[in-house]
Every structure is written in structure tokens, then in C-alpha cells.
Chain A
Amino acid sequence: MRTLHSILKHGGLFWDRELLPPENYTARYGRIQETMRASGDDAWLVFGDVARYGNLTYLTNFLPRVRSAMAYLPREGAPVLYASIGLRDIPAAKTLTWVDEIRVFGRVPASVAQLITDEGLAKGRIGLVGFDETMPVADWDAVAAALPDVDWQVRSGALDELRARKDTSEIAAMRAAGRTALTALEGANEALEPGTTMRQVFARLEGAARGLGAEDVRILAASGPQTGIALGPIDDRVLEAGDPVMVHFAVERQRYWAEVGKTFTVGGAGGAADGLQGRAQSVLAAMEDAATPGASIADLAAVARAAIGDGSLAEGAASYGFAHGIGLDAEEYPLIASHDDAALAPGAALALRAVLHGEGTGAIAGRTVLIGDDGLERLT
């Protein structure tokens, strides 16, 4: 879900160790070290920034609040976490990760070059995770120039596969995020009153989610005539009775995201969006039916297009994406943008959505689901 919200977190940032036990991370690290031994890599560097940190968080539970962070994972021995923070921030950072050693990034390229040289790997073979997506090119150019003899290997795919199948604690965390989103949205009908502004309504709903422990909240919305055009950021429009209001609402709690899409009518009365809302719901239902192990994101998109029927409605809906992975990143593998044909595995968590704009009105239906061996579980 792309919005123009800040990517600097300002919600509750703490580690619920009962929900996400430290042993999970050490076990994952052990698996990664086995992968390194099999591939002949000396170490991996896992990089993330404030917008995309899922790979880093999957292994460390750490989340960069500002700038970037990087984990150094040697084939043997303990990891080291680098973060773009000040010395004063280290005590708080330590509460978020099982990694004992946290170092402060100076300039990122200099820190990386120093680390690799100190570890005796200036002519080593090093796997890179998340670099293509998040490492700034200016920094990378300096790293590559400082370490000309390192054999760099892109290893992001290995983590994509692991992360695509959620484990028990991840599923519990996503259920909690889903509950937070739904509980916050329960206040929407009451908040959506004629005479109030969109900004007032969503300040209240976002506040409700943050008051329940959300680390982050993302909202796209549209009301009245705007529903016929596009979703967008919150504006100052004054609501009128009967207005349709489209809400795309995502909540992050304990690093895990869940999202939901709903259409409301101001004052509760039926409005022009009802017909389109029924259609959006049926598209979502069709995708839920098709979301089984072995299906692909591309299959879900095809099902959604068929359920929409109308060409322009379908094209508009497709521009938002019908489905993608969700978890530690609000959008993660498998991504609709990649037109991925990979088969969904049990344990995959997906954000499904149908966003329809037509004839001066609009509707959205969306939820987060978990694909299981025994069927689909709705997380929102």
C-alpha cells in the first residue's frame, strides 16, 4: 500500500517477546548460516531503510526509525547490527533486537568498508540482501570502489522464499495487527457524520489505532465525488449526508502489517455506491475463493478481472493492484508488480483488494488473508 504518509514511525515501538520470541530469530539465523555454508558465502549483508526493512527485521526484529540499518551475518559467529542512530539511541535500540552488538553507522560506505576489511573479507564472497531495493546508489558506488576485490552475490531471493511462508508467531502478530485495524475502524460509522471534515474523522480513527499500540498507520481515502476519481490522502472536505466514503486502512503492530478496505455511507443511509460496493465485495469474494495453495498472484488478478467484467472498471482496479504479499513490509513478495507466477504456499499472507471508480462514485473492498492447508483465514 503506497500512501504519502511519513515513513518515520511515531507510534509505540517496543518488542512483545511473548508474541515474537527471541528463539525465532536465532533459529532463522541458523538457517541462513546453513544456506551460506551451502553456497560458499563468507557472510551476508542485509540492508534496509525506513520504508523497506522486512528482510532486516525478519532476522533481527530491529526496525530503523530513521535512515537505514544493516545486519552483518557471518557464516560462523554472532551477527552485528549497524544503525543510523546516535550513541544516545543505543539503549532504546537494544530493547528491539536480540543482536547483542549494535554499532552506529558513521558514513555508511566507510562503515561497510571498515567492517569487511576488519573481518578479513576484502577478497571474500559476500551475499547482499535488500541492496538493490534500498541501498542508495551513491553509497553503493563508494562501497564497491573501496572493496574492489569482494565477490558480491545477490541473495535477496532466499529470504523472499522464507518470508513468504509465515510461521506461527508471525501469524499471531498479523492477527493482532488485523484486530487493531478492525477495532479502530469500528468507530468509523459514528465518526462519519455530516458536517465533519475528512481530516477530523481520520485523525480520530488513526488515533484509535495508535492508542491500541499501532506503530504505524497508513490511510488512503476518498469521499463524495472524489470516490469516482481516485483514492488519495486525507483532505479537508466537509462530509454530507449520503456521501460514499472509501477507506483503505493499514496498521502496523509489532512490525507486522494488516490492511482492510471498506466503503461507508455518511449518516448510514444507502447511497449511490451501494451497487458498486456489492460488486467490489463480489470481486473480493471471488479472489478469496481462488486464493488456495498452488494458485498464483497472476491467477488472482485474472479472477478479479473476470469478476469485474467491465473493461474500464477492471483497468482502474488493476492500477491499484489486486493482491500482494503482506507481513513485515506493507507490500512484499509475491508482488503484483512482478506479475509473479510463483505458486502460493500454505502460510502465505496476502492483501486482497478491489477498488472501483465509475459513474461519479466508487467503492473499495479489501482484507488481509492467510492461506492455509485447510482453507483461507481472514485476518481483517
Chain B
Amino acid sequence: MDVKGDLEFRVKRVQDAMAERGYGGLIIYYGAQHNMLRTDPILLLADLRVIGPCALLLARSGAPRLILSPPWDLARARAAVAFDDVVAVEEHDLAKEIAAGAKALPQPLAVTGREIMPMGFARDLYAALPSPPEDGDDIVRATAATRTEVELDRIARAAAIADAGFETLRQVARVGMREYELAAEMNSAMEALGSEDNFGLMSAGHHNVAIRAVTDRKLEEGDVIVGEITPCYKGYFAQLCRTYILGEATDLQREKYDLLLRAQVAGLEAARPGRPSSGIAAAVNQVIGDAGYGEYCRQPYMRTRGHGLGMGGVVPYDVTESSGPEIAPGMTMVIHPNQYIPETGYMMLGDTVVIEDDGPRSLTKTPRRLFWRGN
């Protein structure tokens, strides 16, 4: 796969957006807080996961310049990126160095990353610039609403790792095991397959009220284990949500899980190019509401019906009945009708999909059904 060409395409998308907005130069700040909720602009445009705070300086044309910290990471950075201009400074010199580099960019300047830039750092940076740059807001993230071929390949790999993580859960979950021990086994299995991260949530109990972080609770016979498994491969996330009964599923649990299955089918059917993303949530809520649980289609009984997913939270962001973005081919998202149901507690079902011309294609491959011990 042509990673270099793919990266040049991504940079060009941002440069085109700069031209549209009238920016001569752009300071792309990133604080190196890697997580599922935020797009990493350095990884997006330079294919490097940085260790410390940094900035990418970009003119309307030409290759970027990367200023990173700490200095001992410079050799790795230079080996990883496809352009030549990479320098490293101590973190306490970063604002000054970015300002010096920014002065050499064509004007006017804009900055992106103010929503994560610590106010102390911003004070130092702005003091070193001749005039405050414009707020570039979400210019980078907005250009990355759809996935390139390289990105999609990585998300597919992450999805396969998520499938393996759930399979590990099925294999190792046992009565008496602590929740964090089970999570550790899953995490370890996924890391060995290349996962760099896992935004993992997992709850167990006879009647879960929601998904949460794992605790020291010991698993019990008949526990309903709900898992939101979100590994990351080369910076790109995929998510799988499933429910596993540590015992035999009851008829009631199977019946209510069928409701989630039908709701997901409706959500997937609504996830077509040209339609509003709010339609996915409306379709899911319709099925659940028709079953008599309309009053539970709100917080705290559920959160969203899905969200954009790839490199951090991406377009269409949270999928709710009020979400706005239109669905487009190349978007990746998770669609999950996760729901609290009074008779069974919280249950989960969700898959990562890529939107294609004729609808969504699932990247996670774990069968869509309720799992229990022995089935």
C-alpha cells in the first residue's frame, strides 16, 4: 500500500482547506494525549505517534515541518516520517521554537488545537508570536471525515483484533476471576496481535445498570458480562460490543437480546450514503420504542446509538436523533443499540462498519448474537 502517497493526499486536503479559509500558514498543536476520543493530527498527517507535545507547521503548499519533544525521540521520528524537516526541543522550549517556526510561514496564521492546548503553554506561545493567530478550530479533523485506503486497512486490522479480544473473553472468563484479571487477559491477547491501546469498558453482574471500567469484583455464575472492546492498530480504532452470559442464557435474556439485534438491523439499514446520521438513531429508537421501551431511549439508560470511529472520534461523531452530519461513502463508524432494559439490565451489541455506496459493510466479524458459556 502506498503509505507515502496516502499521507501526501491527507496533507493536501488540509492545505486545500487552508486555501478555502484564507490561511497562509497553520500551526497544528498536539499534546500527545492519545485516546479514542480525539483525532491525532500528527499521526493523521505524518504517520507518527508522538511521545511529547509537539506542533506540525504547514504552509499552503510544500512539505510540513515537525517540532517535537522530547529530544531523545528525534531519531525515531526522523525514521518514521516521510518529510525531512523534523527538529526536537526540550518541552520548556517548545512554545518559543514553534513561534520561531511559525513566523517563517506565509501569513495570515491560524492555529488548531486550542481545545486541548494548556492555558500556560498558550500564554507562552502567543507571547512569542507577533500577533495572535486565527482559531483554525477543527480544520484538520474536518478534512478527515472519510477514510483513505491505508486508513481503512488499519481499521480492518483493529476490527480483527477486537474480534480476537472477544474470543479471549469467551475462552478465559470463569467464576471467581476478578473483572480486572479478565480485562488483563483480553488486553494481553490483543496487544500480542498489534494493539497499541484499548479503550476498554467491561461490566459484569446479574443486572448491569450501565457499562463501566473494570473493578475488582469477582465474576459469579450467571453474570451478564458486557464488553465494549476498542483496540487500536497503528493509531486507528475499531470497536466491538457484545454480551456474554457466564452460564446459560435465560429465555428472557434471549428474547430481549433479539430486540437489540432487530434494532441494529434497522440502524444498519438507515446507514446509507446521503442520509442524515440522525436517521440511524431514529431507526434504532423506533424498534426499541415499539417494544415498549421508548422511555429508556435516553440517558442514563443508553448513551448514543453509535459514533464515528477511526482515528479518534470522527465525523459523524455521536449518533443521536439530533446529530447532523450526512452519511458519506468512506466513513467508518460503530453502530451500537446498547440499551438498559428493566427485565435484564444493560446489554450490548455493536459493530464497526465502513459506509460503501450500497450501504454499510461490517469490519468486525464476530457473529451477531447473544453468547453464553458453551454456545
Interface positions of A (Cβ within 8 A of B): 2-14, 49-51, 65-67, 86-92, 95, 131-140, 199-200, 202-204, 206-211, 213, 229-233, 236, 316, 319-320, 337
Contact = CB atoms under 8 A, between A and B. Distances in A.
15 contacts: A2-B52, A5-B197, A11-B214, A14-B215, A66-B37, A86-B299, A88-B210, A88-B300, A132-B118, A137-B121, A137-B122, A203-B187, A203-B189, A207-B188, A230-B72
Nearest to B181: A211
Interface stretch (B27-35, B322-330, B350-358): B27-35
B209 A91 contact: yes
A48 to B, nearest CB: 12
A6 B73 contact: no
Between A51, A203, A231, the greatest number of chain B beta carbons within 10 A of the residue's beta carbon is seen for: A203
Nearest to B76: A232
Nearest to A128: B119
B184 interface: yes
B184 A11 contact: yes
A98 B175 CA distance: 31
Contacts of A13: 213-215
A12 B119 contact: no
B118 A210 contact: no
Between A12, A51, A135, the greatest number of chain B beta carbons within 10 A of the residue's beta carbon is seen for: A12
Contact of B72 (A6, A50, A86, A316): A316
A279 B31 CA distance: 34
A8 B34 CA distance: 8
Between B52, B72, B185, the greatest number of chain A beta carbons within 10 A of the residue's beta carbon is seen for: B72
Contact of A50 (B33, B117, B180, B189): B33
Minimum-distance CB pairs A-B, first 7? A207-B188, A12-B180, A132-B120, A210-B184, A137-B122, A203-B191, A88-B300
B51 interface: yes
Given A8-B36, A92-B212, 11 more contacts: A4-B51, A5-B197, A6-B36, A6-B197, A13-B214, A135-B118, A135-B119, A137-B114, A139-B115, A206-B191, A231-B72
B210 A7 contact: no
A225 to B, nearest CB: 12
Contacts of A320: 70, 72
A87 B70 CA distance: 38
Interface in B180-203: 180-181, 183-185, 187-189, 191-192, 194, 196-201
Nearest to A230: B72
B97 interface: no
B115 A136 contact: yes
Contact of B51 (A2, A7, A51, A316): A2
Interface in B72-130: 72-73, 75-76, 90-92, 114-123
Contacts of A51: 31, 33
A337 B92 contact: yes
B290 interface: no
Given A6-B197, A232-B76, A337-B92, A89 B187 contact: no
B372 interface: no
B182 to A, nearest CB: 9
Contacts of B92: 337
Contact of A138 (B76, B115, B185, B209): B115
A210 B189 CA distance: 13
A65 B200 CA distance: 11
Nearest to A210: B184
Nearest to A132: B120
Nearest to B217: A14
Contacts of A206: 187-188, 191
A67 B181 CA distance: 26
B303 interface: yes
Contacts of A229: 75
B189 to A, nearest CB: 8
Contacts of A213: 178, 180, 216
B134 to A, nearest CB: 13
B212 A136 contact: no
B179 interface: yes
Contacts of B120: 131-133
A210 B188 CA distance: 9
Nearest to B111: A137
B28 to A, nearest CB: 15
A10 B188 contact: no
B187 A50 contact: no
B50 interface: yes
Nearest to A12: B180
A12 B213 CA distance: 7
Between A140, A211, A233, the greatest number of chain B beta carbons within 10 A of the residue's beta carbon is seen for: A211
Nearest to A93: B212
Contacts of A138: 114-115, 117, 135
Contacts of A210: 180, 183-184, 187-188
